[in-house]
């Protein structure tokens, strides 16, 4: 019997139907000499620390670093998973050959290999490697099964990735949690998530600390066309004013007109990151939403495998293009012009050297009913595919130079000479950025104009959106707009296309980041965590990108898995030594998970830590810990609230400041110094939220419990732990008298 093992029940069902294994059994399909079974994703995982040594269960600095000599795999504890594993193992015991039908990628290879190894199967293994789930693709794949050994390096890369994440994630998370995680707050640190969070925090701080600088622009309006001073902006107002006064006295003259024909190529086919970026920008879908939709489209057979990092197709797809286009009957208006002639073949689309495991995401030609969100994603995948076979768009780029006296001005515009591929997207109402059609100018023409001199300010960088964050992860934090250069840098990106969405979602779940409309912002906890991590390598996107490059080199067989794992162990060992030696401890508490700029309710102000507490003065910012004081994070930007660690030469504890914030005063404290005298008293806020010291009263109050309040006359006197007070104290009367 041949046993096929797929990654999901739905995929197993498709494969079984093609193979004729139509009898449904418990945990598998059977028939025609085949048994087609499945996993539910990860049936097996790496062992936990306590599986190696019982005392590693304890979160103790003395147990770090935890580095098993040999990493082991175990079946997950879930009862349903254990049951399915036993079914798979029983089938393997009867198998003459096992066919690995896992998803054709690094993670799919790892999932299935772990199951095969854990089941102790030692027989022949073959690999099904397909890029779509159409009947044709499955049949073709089974006709061309590969030896499992061909994919050993892919497995080694996946195994190395898991071990690297285990080594750094478990050791660093425990290290920072025990050292800095106040109030039992788990501080999650990871190989990819920490540099991703660091990019967000760095951008947030750049914007917070940005100081706008003024500059001036000289422009003039001639024939309803705006011309700008050719040499750019002015940093000194007086320099520009001299020219403004000069050009006002003269007519505007056209000096030169330059037209240059150009070519605009169709947008590239989608890789997963490109699809996620587009769908976030255009439809507002999160990266995780887009991945899930693309996966459903793949399982519905309408698109090819989505977890890919290339925008190219192999040459052997070219003969199939016309067949795919002819089946896209819902798009016949766009496909018909292509079907009537020879399909264009461009190296910008077909390049075997740019394709490794999989090609770009394209339609299969199958059409079916889709949900609205699925239809949106499918539609743009199809249109990108159609567009690359249209002619290039031909344009004329025009530059016009004019002058007033001897001051030159410039404007540019574009004229579309031949739409080419643009017709595919006309129904979307999309336009190229910065397109403008200029009137017809003649060299030497003159006329009146309207100069203007505008003061502007430099702008900070923009906060990350999910789209721009994905691009930053792809290029290890470098700003890259050029498609060709971005392709080159993909090998050093952080994370993989298939994991980036999950990394971002993990940061949301940990409450290290939050959404503000389309923006992604770090929370106070996220900022504090990155500030606490002094090890720059742990936060380095470039180093993480270098690790990703090494993992790809393992896939190619250029370096060994052992080299990568040894490097990770050296780094973890050095990190543990460094952090354990730190003398400063920063306590990060769970209260920091509240987003920035969010006012708390009264019940929420009774927190267990000052850090993250809403500022009592501006009621907008949140309190952070500095070198000499706690202060509002908006300090210097409209708020000046601080709580110094030492007041009147006395160190004030965090708990006393918490009491002051929640109850309006500290208890009576000894040790304040004023003019050389020691004073006992309590601290309050004055009307401007500055600290004031109220010395302890030495004369006992001549007042009795139950007496009418001497201030409001309606309340009654009550006795508290430190003072007599009015029963109306919380509803309008502020009478208090210290005991």
CA distance 528 to 506: 17
| Peptide bond between residue 65 and the one before it cis (omega within 30 degrees of 0) | yes
Q: How many CB atoms lie under 10 A from the CB of residue 310?
A: 23
Among 155, 176, 305, 630, the one annotated catalytic: 305
Query: Apex CA 348: angle with CA 347 and CA 351, to 5°?
Result: 50
Q: How many CB atoms lie under 10 A from the CB of residue 259?
A: 11
How deeply is 256 buried, as exposed, middle or buried, from its count of CB atoms within 10 A (0-12, 13-18, 19+)? middle
Question: To which residue do tokens 């598998």 refer?
Answer: 28
CA distance 545 to 502: 17
CA distance 626 to 208: 16
**Run of H or E residues at 167:** helix 152-180
Do 258 and 398 contact (CB within 8 A), yes or no? yes
Is the C-alpha dihedral spanning 193, 196, 202, 207 positive or negative? negative
Task: Tell me if residue 121 falls in helix, strand or coil.
Answer: coil
The DSSP result for 392-428, as a single string, is PEEEEEEEEEEEETTEEEEEEEEEEEE-GGGGGGGGG
What does each C-alpha distance from 240 to 4, 213, 225, 253, 408 come to in angstroms?
76, 16, 21, 20, 13
Phi–psi pair at 477, nearest 5 degrees? 85, -5
618: number of CA atoms within 13 Å, CB side?
Answer: 18
**Run of H or E residues at 280:** helix 272-283
Is there a catalytic annotation at residue 305? yes
CA distance 629 to 625: 6
Do 173 and 502 contact (CB within 8 A), yes or no? no
What does each C-alpha distance from 128 to 7, 214, 425 come to in angstroms?
12, 62, 37
CA distance 95 to 255: 83
Q: Six-digit token pair at 255? A: 């000096």
Cα radius of gyration rounded to whole Å, the chain: 34
Determine how β-strand 723-726 pairs with β-strand 736-738: antiparallel
The full length of the chain comes to 739
Nearest to 16 by CA among 1, 2, 30, 33: 30
Which residues are annotated as catalytic?
305
């Amino acid at each position: 019997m041949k046993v096929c093992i797929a990654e999901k029940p739905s995929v197993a069902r498709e494969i079984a139907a093609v193979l004729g294994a139509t009898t449904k059994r418990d945990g598998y399909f059977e028939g025609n000499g085949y048994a087609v079974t499945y996993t539910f994703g990860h049936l097996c995982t790496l062992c936990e620390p306590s599986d190696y040594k019982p005392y590693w269960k304890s979160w103790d600095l003395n147990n770090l670093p935890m580095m098993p000599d040999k990493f082991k795999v175990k079946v997950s504890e879930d009862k349903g998973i254990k049951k399915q594993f036993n079914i798979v193992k029983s089938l393997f015991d009867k198998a003459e050959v096992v066919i690995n039908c896992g998803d054709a990628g690094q993670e799919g290879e790892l999932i299935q290999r772990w199951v095969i190894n854990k089941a102790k199967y030692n027989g022949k293994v073959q690999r099904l490697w397909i890029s779509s789930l159409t009947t044709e693709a499955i049949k073709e794949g089974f006709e061309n099964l590969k030896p499992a050994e061909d994919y050993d390096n892919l497995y080694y890369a996946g195994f190395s990735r898991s071990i690297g994440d285990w080594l750094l994630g478990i050791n660093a998370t425990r290290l920072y949690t025990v050292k800095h995680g106040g109030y039992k707050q788990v501080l999650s640190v990871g190989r990819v998530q920490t540099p991703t969070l660091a990019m967000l925090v760095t951008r947030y701080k750049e914007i917070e600390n940005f100081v706008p600088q003024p500059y001036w622009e000289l422009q003039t309006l001639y024939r309803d066309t705006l011309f700008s001073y050719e040499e750019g902006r002015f940093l000194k107002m007086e320099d520009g004013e001299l020219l403004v006064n000069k050009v006002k006295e003269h007519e505007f003259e056209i000096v030169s007109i330059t037209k240059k024909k150009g070519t605009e190529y169709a947008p590239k086919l989608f890789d997963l990151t490109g699809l996620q970026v587009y769908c976030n920008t255009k439809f507002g879908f999160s990266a995780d939403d887009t991945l899930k939709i693309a996966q459903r489209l793949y399982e519905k057979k309408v698109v090819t495998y989505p977890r890919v990092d290339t925008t190219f197709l192999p040459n052997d797809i070219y003969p199939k293009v016309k067949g795919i286009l002819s089946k896209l009957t819902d798009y016949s208006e766009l496909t018909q012009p292509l079907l009537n002639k020879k399909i264009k073949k461009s190296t910008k689309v077909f390049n075997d050297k740019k394709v490794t495991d999989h090609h770009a995401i394209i339609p299969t030609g199958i059409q079916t009913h889709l949900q609205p969100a699925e239809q949106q994603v499918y539609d743009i995948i199809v249109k990108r595919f159609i567009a690359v076979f249209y002619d290039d768009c031909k344009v004329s780029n025009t530059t016009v130079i004019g002058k007033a006296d001897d001051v030159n001005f410039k404007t540019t515009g574009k004229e579309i000479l031949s739409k080419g591929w643009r017709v595919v997207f006309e129904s979307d109402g999309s336009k190229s950025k910065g397109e403008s059609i200029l009137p017809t100018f003649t060299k030497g023409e003159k006329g009146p104009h309207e100069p203007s001199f505008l003061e502007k300010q430099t702008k900070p960088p923009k906060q990350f959106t999910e789209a721009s964050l994905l691009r930053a992860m792809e290029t290890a934090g470098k700003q890259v707009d050029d498609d060709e250069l971005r392709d080159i840098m993909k090998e050093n990106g952080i994370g993989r296309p298939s994991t980036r969405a999950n990394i971002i979602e993990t940061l949301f779940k940990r409450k290290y980041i939050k959404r503000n409309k389309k923006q992604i912002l770090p929370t106070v906890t996220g900022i504090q965590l990155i500030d606490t991590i002094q090890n720059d390598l742990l936060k380095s996107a470039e180093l993480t990108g270098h690790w990703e490059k090494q993992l790809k080199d393992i896939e190619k067989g250029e370096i060994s898995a052992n080299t990568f794992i040894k490097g990770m162990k050296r780094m973890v060992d050095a990190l543990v030594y460094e952090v354990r030696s730190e003398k400063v401890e920063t306590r990060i508490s769970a209260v920091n998970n509240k987003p920035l700029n969010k006012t708390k309710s009264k019940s929420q102000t009774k927190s267990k830590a000052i850090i993250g507490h809403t500022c009592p003065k501006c009621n907008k910012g949140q309190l952070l810990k500095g070198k000499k004081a706690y202060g509002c994070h908006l300090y210097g930007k409209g708020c000046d609230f601080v709580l110094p660690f030492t007041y009147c030469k006395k160190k004030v504890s965090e708990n006393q400041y918490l009491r002051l914030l929640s109850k309006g005063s500290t208890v009576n404290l000894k040790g304040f110094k004023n003019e050389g005298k020691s004073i006992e008293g309590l601290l309050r806020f004055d009307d401007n939220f500055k600290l004031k010291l109220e010395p302890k009263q030495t004369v006992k109050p001549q007042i009795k419990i139950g007496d009418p309040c001497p201030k409001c006359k309606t309340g009654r006197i009550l006795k508290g732990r430190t003072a007599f007070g009015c029963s109306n104290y919380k509803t309008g009367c502020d009478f208090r008298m210290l005991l």
